[in-house]
Structure 1
């Protein structure tokens, strides 16, 4: 039986990768085997968040391009958790392969990975044309869509509306609001969007510092990070228990 596929989506700078990484951390503490896939085809970003390196013989393009691979061997184990593995472009990578990725390759890879992991998280891209992201959204059981209040976020949401309609994924979306740091009023954004926000994520001032240090927010225990972690635990409980959000 294959595992559940969860997609994380949002516009540029919406905090989706931060959310995907830390949701994976929260899920990995519940004795689930968790796989996290990056849709970034030009830069290996997940290893920055985890403070590790992806060797050339592992990573996203080996998983995509090999026939019937032992897909689990292409993931990198997170050193701090025996249950969490991530798939990203290798740390030293030229980007020459990124234009060769097909939807068929992406679908085959994700279906294979879903048989290895209890929960597979796909960190999506803002661009609707990204093949990893698009297949992840199509196959996902749930799509957590991140919003960082701004005019740009509203424009992104409007810009992908036809894509959402054509893929029939609106009913799978669960909208999450990143509480702003005084840059844009969240009440105004809620009114502008008219969306049901299932969760509010607190603003974490130290997020960038922690990410650059390879320390996931979920495992850092100052007050704000604990508040962020509590929201993740609620979401993880819903995923593991199959509860409606």
Structure 2
């Protein structure tokens, strides 16, 4: 044990967004029960690369008694993490055996405009569905599904369609879509899967729709990093939805 620089996480501030996890080269941070945790003192180098990724200022570098950084332990930990990491890449056909995850390309009549009808008496709004594929969960979509090619890709935090009433017409129409929650899932697996989708398909553009809450920034970061790793030059637009349903961007 020695007095040295080491990271400290304020759990009261932490929102569990997971943005700090990929920022740590030693894999010393893990999301446990919705909060970021330091796995072990001997995995933390005390440099603080994770600080810049925290949107709520929950991480700081302090001087405290801690175990020295153990490079061999870091190598072993990263190797174990790599071996136990869930497979992020799906083959052209999903292998889980569930009929509900079979890829389907829904053919919509592009000549038929989305309609909004108002009935007499109580107001009744009818919006024609704009979803043109199945499944939509990022974990389930095959990375080379036909519906990704020659279209814009909409990357959506899964709370957005509930908060934003005009989601189908304003965001989903004429786009392929993947959805996920960066707080509940592994950010690195999101980055890996999105990188493959962008690399392996002719994506015309990317739209990232996320909520205003800090933990939702994780899906924006995943999209940014995936585009960077893909090596492609694709225009990306970011849309932030407020909890009250208002759109920003």
TM-score scaled by structure 2?
0.29
State the structure with more CA Rg: 2
TM-score scaled by structure 1?
0.29
Q: Higher helix proportion, which one? A: 1
Q: Which has the higher contact order (CA 8 A, sep 6+)?
A: 1
Q: Higher strand proportion, which one? A: 2
